[in-house]
Protein backbone atom coordinates (compact mmCIF):
# COMPACT_ATOMS: atom_id res chain seq x y z
CA UNK A 1 0.00 0.00 0.00
CA UNK A 2 1.42 3.39 -0.99
CA UNK A 3 2.15 5.81 1.85
CA UNK A 4 0.19 9.08 1.69
CA UNK A 5 1.94 12.06 0.11
CA UNK A 6 2.99 14.93 2.33
CA UNK A 7 1.16 18.24 1.60
CA UNK A 8 4.08 19.74 -0.35
CA UNK A 9 4.49 16.75 -2.65
CA UNK A 10 0.73 16.39 -3.10
CA UNK A 11 0.55 20.00 -4.31
CA UNK A 12 3.35 19.30 -6.79
CA UNK A 13 1.46 16.28 -8.15
CA UNK A 14 -1.72 18.35 -8.47
CA UNK A 15 0.17 21.19 -10.16
CA UNK A 16 1.66 18.74 -12.66
CA UNK A 17 -1.82 17.43 -13.44
CA UNK A 18 -3.13 20.97 -13.96
CA UNK A 19 -0.18 21.76 -16.21
CA UNK A 20 -1.07 18.77 -18.40
CA UNK A 21 -4.79 19.61 -18.44
CA UNK A 22 -4.23 23.25 -19.37
CA UNK A 23 -1.94 22.20 -22.21
CA UNK A 24 -4.83 20.25 -23.68
CA UNK A 25 -6.52 21.09 -26.93
CA UNK A 26 -9.70 22.36 -25.23
CA UNK A 27 -9.64 24.67 -22.23
CA UNK A 28 -13.15 25.64 -21.21
CA UNK A 29 -14.13 28.53 -18.91
CA UNK A 30 -15.27 25.99 -16.30
CA UNK A 31 -11.89 24.24 -16.39
CA UNK A 32 -10.14 27.57 -16.04
CA UNK A 33 -12.37 28.40 -13.07
CA UNK A 34 -11.56 25.05 -11.43
CA UNK A 35 -7.85 25.69 -11.87
CA UNK A 36 -8.10 29.16 -10.36
CA UNK A 37 -10.05 27.75 -7.39
CA UNK A 38 -7.34 25.16 -6.82
CA UNK A 39 -4.59 27.77 -7.26
CA UNK A 40 -6.06 30.13 -4.67
CA UNK A 41 -6.83 27.37 -2.16
CA UNK A 42 -3.41 27.46 -0.47
CA UNK A 43 0.09 28.90 -0.52
CA UNK A 44 1.35 25.36 -1.15
CA UNK A 45 -0.67 25.17 -4.37
CA UNK A 46 0.57 28.55 -5.57
CA UNK A 47 4.19 27.69 -4.82
CA UNK A 48 3.83 24.29 -6.50
CA UNK A 49 2.30 25.84 -9.62
CA UNK A 50 5.07 28.44 -9.81
CA UNK A 51 7.67 25.68 -9.56
CA UNK A 52 6.04 23.55 -12.27
CA UNK A 53 5.42 26.41 -14.71
CA UNK A 54 8.97 27.74 -14.23
CA UNK A 55 10.58 24.39 -14.95
CA UNK A 56 8.19 23.32 -17.70
CA UNK A 57 8.39 26.66 -19.48
CA UNK A 58 11.73 25.44 -20.78
CA UNK A 59 9.93 22.73 -22.77
CA UNK A 60 8.56 25.37 -25.12
CA UNK A 61 12.08 25.86 -26.46
CA UNK A 62 12.32 22.23 -27.62
CA UNK A 63 11.91 21.87 -31.42
CA UNK A 64 8.34 20.98 -32.29
CA UNK A 65 9.06 17.56 -33.79
CA UNK A 66 10.83 16.50 -30.58
CA UNK A 67 8.48 17.94 -27.99
CA UNK A 68 5.87 16.03 -25.98
CA UNK A 69 2.88 18.00 -27.40
CA UNK A 70 3.35 16.18 -30.74
CA UNK A 71 1.93 12.96 -29.24
CA UNK A 72 -1.24 12.06 -31.04
CA UNK A 73 -3.70 10.70 -28.50
CA UNK A 74 -4.88 13.34 -26.04
CA UNK A 75 -4.84 10.91 -23.11
CA UNK A 76 -1.29 9.76 -23.85
CA UNK A 77 -0.20 13.35 -24.41
CA UNK A 78 -1.62 14.49 -21.10
CA UNK A 79 -0.12 11.57 -19.22
CA UNK A 80 3.28 12.21 -20.80
CA UNK A 81 3.13 15.91 -19.96
CA UNK A 82 2.21 15.13 -16.37
CA UNK A 83 5.06 12.64 -15.97
CA UNK A 84 7.49 15.02 -17.61
CA UNK A 85 6.46 17.84 -15.24
CA UNK A 86 6.82 15.61 -12.19
CA UNK A 87 10.22 14.33 -13.25
CA UNK A 88 11.47 17.83 -14.04
CA UNK A 89 10.45 19.14 -10.63
CA UNK A 90 10.99 16.14 -8.37
CA UNK A 91 13.41 13.87 -10.21
CA UNK A 92 17.18 13.90 -10.54
CA UNK A 93 17.79 15.57 -7.22
CA UNK A 94 14.92 18.00 -7.62
CA UNK A 95 13.03 16.47 -4.71
CA UNK A 96 15.81 17.32 -2.27
CA UNK A 97 16.02 20.91 -3.42
CA UNK A 98 12.24 21.19 -3.36
CA UNK A 99 11.98 19.92 0.21
CA UNK A 100 14.67 22.28 1.44
CA UNK A 101 14.13 25.60 -0.28
CA UNK A 102 10.32 26.06 -0.61
CA UNK A 103 9.74 25.10 3.01
CA UNK A 104 11.93 28.01 4.10
CA UNK A 105 9.99 30.24 1.74
CA UNK A 106 6.56 29.14 3.00
CA UNK A 107 7.54 29.51 6.67
CA UNK A 108 9.24 32.90 6.27
CA UNK A 109 8.30 35.88 8.41
CA UNK A 110 7.32 37.96 5.39
CA UNK A 111 6.02 36.74 2.02
CA UNK A 112 4.40 38.13 -1.09
CA UNK A 113 2.29 36.32 -3.67
CA UNK A 114 2.53 36.60 -7.45
CA UNK A 115 2.09 40.24 -8.44
CA UNK A 116 2.05 41.47 -4.84
CA UNK A 117 4.38 44.13 -3.42
CA UNK A 118 4.68 45.21 0.20
CA UNK A 119 6.30 48.12 2.04
CA UNK A 120 6.98 48.09 5.76
CA UNK A 121 9.10 49.83 8.35
CA UNK A 122 11.45 47.70 10.41
CA UNK A 123 11.97 48.06 14.15
CA UNK A 124 15.08 50.23 13.68
CA UNK A 125 13.30 52.63 11.31
CA UNK A 126 14.70 51.11 8.10
CA UNK A 127 12.34 50.69 5.14
CA UNK A 128 11.90 47.24 3.57
CA UNK A 129 10.09 46.84 0.23
CA UNK A 130 9.22 43.35 -1.03
CA UNK A 131 8.70 42.56 -4.69
CA UNK A 132 6.57 39.77 -6.18
CA UNK A 133 7.09 36.15 -4.99
CA UNK A 134 9.42 37.15 -2.16
CA UNK A 135 10.17 35.39 1.13
CA UNK A 136 12.31 36.94 3.87
CA UNK A 137 13.03 36.40 7.56
CA UNK A 138 13.77 39.29 9.91
CA UNK A 139 16.20 38.67 12.77
CA UNK A 140 16.92 41.72 14.91
CA UNK A 141 18.62 41.14 18.26
CA UNK A 142 21.13 42.81 20.59
CA UNK A 143 24.03 42.11 18.23
CA UNK A 144 22.72 42.43 14.69
CA UNK A 145 20.06 43.53 12.24
CA UNK A 146 19.71 40.63 9.81
CA UNK A 147 17.42 39.89 6.86
CA UNK A 148 17.48 36.39 5.35
CA UNK A 149 16.20 36.57 1.77
CA UNK A 150 15.10 33.10 0.63
CA UNK A 151 13.42 34.04 -2.65
CA UNK A 152 12.46 37.07 -4.68
CA UNK A 153 13.63 40.65 -4.43
CA UNK A 154 13.83 43.41 -1.84
CA UNK A 155 14.79 47.07 -1.70
CA UNK A 156 16.30 48.19 1.61
CA UNK A 157 16.68 51.78 2.79
CA UNK A 158 18.67 51.59 5.99
CA UNK A 159 18.19 53.91 8.95
CA UNK A 160 20.79 54.81 11.58
CA UNK A 161 20.52 52.27 14.39
CA UNK A 162 18.80 53.77 17.47
CA UNK A 163 20.85 51.40 19.66
CA UNK A 164 24.41 52.26 20.70
CA UNK A 165 26.84 50.92 19.69
CA UNK A 166 25.12 50.56 16.29
CA UNK A 167 24.47 47.00 15.16
CA UNK A 168 25.57 45.93 11.67
CA UNK A 169 22.80 45.66 9.07
CA UNK A 170 23.16 42.56 6.87
CA UNK A 171 21.23 40.69 4.20
CA UNK A 172 21.97 36.96 3.86
CA UNK A 173 21.03 34.80 0.87
CA UNK A 174 21.98 31.27 -0.12
CA UNK A 175 24.88 32.76 -2.07
CA UNK A 176 26.46 35.04 0.51
CA UNK A 177 26.22 38.08 2.76
CA UNK A 178 25.70 41.78 2.08
CA UNK A 179 26.80 44.30 4.71
CA UNK A 180 25.08 47.67 4.41
CA UNK A 181 27.28 50.73 4.82
CA UNK A 182 24.60 53.36 5.44
CA UNK A 183 22.86 52.74 2.19
CA UNK A 184 19.91 52.06 -0.11
CA UNK A 185 20.21 48.89 -2.15
CA UNK A 186 18.29 46.27 -4.10
CA UNK A 187 18.81 42.50 -3.69
CA UNK A 188 17.43 39.85 -6.05
CA UNK A 189 17.78 36.10 -5.51
CA UNK A 190 17.70 33.67 -8.41
CA UNK A 191 18.42 29.96 -8.51
CA UNK A 192 22.14 30.24 -9.32
CA UNK A 193 23.08 33.67 -8.01
CA UNK A 194 22.21 36.80 -6.07
CA UNK A 195 22.47 40.29 -7.55
CA UNK A 196 22.85 43.44 -5.45
CA UNK A 197 22.40 46.91 -6.93
CA UNK A 198 23.47 49.91 -4.85
CA UNK A 199 21.45 53.10 -5.19
CA UNK A 200 23.04 55.15 -2.40
CA UNK A 201 26.31 54.92 -0.44
CA UNK A 202 27.86 51.42 -0.51
CA UNK A 203 27.68 47.77 0.56
CA UNK A 204 30.25 45.05 1.18
CA UNK A 205 29.66 41.57 -0.29
CA UNK A 206 31.12 38.19 0.72
CA UNK A 207 30.33 34.80 -0.92
CA UNK A 208 28.87 32.14 1.38
CA UNK A 209 31.77 29.68 1.26
CA UNK A 210 34.55 32.25 0.87
CA UNK A 211 33.80 34.73 3.65
CA UNK A 212 37.37 36.04 3.60
CA UNK A 213 36.69 37.49 0.13
CA UNK A 214 35.10 40.92 0.41
CA UNK A 215 34.11 43.38 -2.30
CA UNK A 216 32.89 46.94 -1.74
CA UNK A 217 30.20 48.09 -4.18
CA UNK A 218 29.51 51.79 -4.58
CA UNK A 219 26.35 53.70 -5.56
CA UNK A 220 25.47 53.12 -9.21
CA UNK A 221 27.06 49.68 -9.28
CA UNK A 222 25.66 46.14 -9.29
CA UNK A 223 27.32 42.83 -8.47
CA UNK A 224 26.22 39.25 -9.15
CA UNK A 225 27.65 36.59 -6.85
CA UNK A 226 27.46 32.87 -6.22
CA UNK A 227 28.24 31.00 -3.03
CA UNK A 228 31.93 30.63 -3.93
CA UNK A 229 32.71 33.60 -6.15
CA UNK A 230 32.07 37.25 -6.98
CA UNK A 231 31.66 38.54 -10.52
CA UNK A 232 32.92 41.90 -11.73
CA UNK A 233 30.81 44.94 -10.73
CA UNK A 234 28.78 46.53 -13.51
CA UNK A 235 26.70 49.66 -14.00
CA UNK A 236 23.14 49.49 -12.65
CA UNK A 237 20.55 48.65 -15.30
CA UNK A 238 18.14 51.50 -16.16
CA UNK A 239 15.15 51.46 -13.81
CA UNK A 240 16.60 48.68 -11.66
CA UNK A 241 14.45 49.74 -8.69
CA UNK A 242 11.43 51.09 -10.57
CA UNK A 243 9.50 47.94 -9.63
CA UNK A 244 8.79 49.75 -6.34
CA UNK A 245 6.66 52.18 -8.38
CA UNK A 246 4.97 49.42 -10.37
CA UNK A 247 7.01 49.90 -13.55
CA UNK A 248 9.30 47.73 -15.64
CA UNK A 249 11.81 49.89 -17.52
CA UNK A 250 13.73 48.14 -20.30
CA UNK A 251 16.28 49.51 -22.76
CA UNK A 252 17.23 47.38 -25.76
CA UNK A 253 16.53 44.03 -24.11
CA UNK A 254 15.49 40.80 -25.90
CA UNK A 255 11.78 40.06 -25.93
CA UNK A 256 12.18 36.74 -24.12
CA UNK A 257 13.95 38.52 -21.23
CA UNK A 258 11.19 41.13 -21.05
CA UNK A 259 8.54 38.41 -20.93
CA UNK A 260 10.50 36.55 -18.26
CA UNK A 261 10.36 39.70 -16.13
CA UNK A 262 6.64 40.21 -16.73
CA UNK A 263 5.93 36.55 -15.90
CA UNK A 264 7.19 37.14 -12.35
CA UNK A 265 4.09 39.30 -11.81
CA UNK A 266 1.61 37.08 -13.64
CA UNK A 267 -0.04 33.75 -12.80
CA UNK A 268 0.02 31.14 -15.50
CA UNK A 269 2.15 30.69 -18.60
CA UNK A 270 3.77 33.45 -20.67
CA UNK A 271 6.26 32.79 -23.49
CA UNK A 272 7.12 33.81 -27.02
CA UNK A 273 7.79 32.15 -30.36
CA UNK A 274 11.44 31.30 -30.84
CA UNK A 275 11.85 33.35 -34.00
CA UNK A 276 11.14 36.62 -32.15
CA UNK A 277 12.88 35.81 -28.86
CA UNK A 278 15.76 38.17 -29.72
CA UNK A 279 13.55 41.09 -30.83
CA UNK A 280 14.95 44.17 -29.06
CA UNK A 281 12.51 45.94 -26.77
CA UNK A 282 12.66 49.36 -25.10
CA UNK A 283 9.91 50.97 -23.06
CA UNK A 284 8.08 51.29 -19.78
CA UNK A 285 5.50 48.64 -18.87
CA UNK A 286 3.04 48.42 -15.96
CA UNK A 287 3.61 45.58 -13.50
CA UNK A 288 0.22 45.80 -11.83
CA UNK A 289 -1.58 44.98 -15.08
CA UNK A 290 0.43 42.58 -17.22
CA UNK A 291 -2.40 42.30 -19.77
CA UNK A 292 -1.98 46.04 -20.36
CA UNK A 293 1.78 45.52 -20.70
CA UNK A 294 1.21 42.83 -23.34
CA UNK A 295 -1.18 45.10 -25.20
CA UNK A 296 1.49 47.81 -25.23
CA UNK A 297 3.95 45.32 -26.71
CA UNK A 298 1.52 44.43 -29.47
CA UNK A 299 0.80 48.09 -30.23
CA UNK A 300 4.43 49.18 -30.46
CA UNK A 301 6.28 46.17 -31.85
CA UNK A 302 5.64 43.70 -34.70
CA UNK A 303 4.06 41.09 -32.46
CA UNK A 304 0.63 39.88 -31.43
CA UNK A 305 -0.65 38.03 -28.38
CA UNK A 306 -2.27 34.59 -28.54
CA UNK A 307 -4.41 33.71 -25.52
CA UNK A 308 -5.41 30.11 -24.93
CA UNK A 309 -6.95 31.21 -21.64
CA UNK A 310 -6.55 34.31 -19.54
CA UNK A 311 -3.65 32.52 -17.82
CA UNK A 312 -1.93 31.07 -20.88
CA UNK A 313 -0.47 33.60 -23.32
CA UNK A 314 2.11 33.44 -26.08
CA UNK A 315 3.68 36.31 -28.03
CA UNK A 316 4.04 35.54 -31.75
CA UNK A 317 5.01 37.49 -34.90
CA UNK A 318 2.31 39.85 -36.13
CA UNK A 319 0.54 38.64 -39.23
CA UNK A 320 1.08 41.00 -42.18
- Please report, for the domain that includes residue 216, its CATH number: 2.60.120.1440
> Are 138 and 109 spatial neighbours (Cβ–Cβ below 8 Å)?
yes
Instruction: Give the end of a domain, one of 106, 128, 156.
Output: 106
**Where is average pLDDT lowest: 21-25, 48-52, 77-81, 193-197?**
77-81
Region 225-254: mean pLDDT is 93
212 and 172 both lie in a single domain: yes
What are the start-end ranges of the E strands in 158-279? 169-173, 176-189, 194-207, 215-218, 221-226, 229-230, 234-235, 247-254, 269-272
169 located within any domain? yes
38 and 64 both lie in a single domain: yes
Kindly indicate the confidence band of residue 309, based on its pLDDT and cuts at 50, 70 and 90.
Answer: confident
Per-residue DSSP letters for 6-74? PHHHHHHHHHHHHHHHHTSS---HHHHHHHHHHHTT-HHHHHHHHHHHHHHGGGGGS-GGGSGGG-SSH
Region 114-128: mean pLDDT is 94
119 located within any domain? yes
Q: Give the number of C-alpha atoms closer than 13 A to the C-alpha of residue 186, restricted to the C-beta side.
A: 20
Q: Is 258 helix (H, G, I), strand (E, B) or coil?
A: helix
Kindly indicate the confidence band of residue 274, based on its pLDDT and cuts at 50, 70 and 90.
Answer: very high
CA distance 196 to 189: 9
More confident residue, 91 or 79: 79
Residues linked to residue 316 through DSSP beta bridges, in sequence order: 304
For the stretch 159-179, pLDDT in tens is 999 999 999 999 999 999 999
Residues linked to residue 314 through DSSP beta bridges, in sequence order: 271, 306
Global model pTM greater than 0.85: no
225 and 185 both lie in a single domain: yes
2 located within any domain? no
Q: How many domains does the chain have?
A: 3
274 and 303 both lie in a single domain: yes
116 and 229 both lie in a single domain: yes
Share of the chain above pLDDT 90, in %: 58
241 located within any domain? no
Domain residues for the domain of 63 are 7-106
Region 33-44: mean pLDDT is 84
Query: For residue 229, is pLDDT > 50?
Result: yes
More confident residue, 231 or 24: 231
Amino acid sequence: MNSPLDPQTRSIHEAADWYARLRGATVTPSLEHEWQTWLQASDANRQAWHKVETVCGRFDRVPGRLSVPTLGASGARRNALRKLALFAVLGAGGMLAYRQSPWREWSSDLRTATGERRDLQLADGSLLQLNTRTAVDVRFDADQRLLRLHAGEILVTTHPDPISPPRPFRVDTAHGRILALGTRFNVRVERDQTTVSVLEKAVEVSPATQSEIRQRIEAGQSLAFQNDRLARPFVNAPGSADWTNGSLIVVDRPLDEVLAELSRYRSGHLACAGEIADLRISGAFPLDNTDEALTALAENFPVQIEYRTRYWARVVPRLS
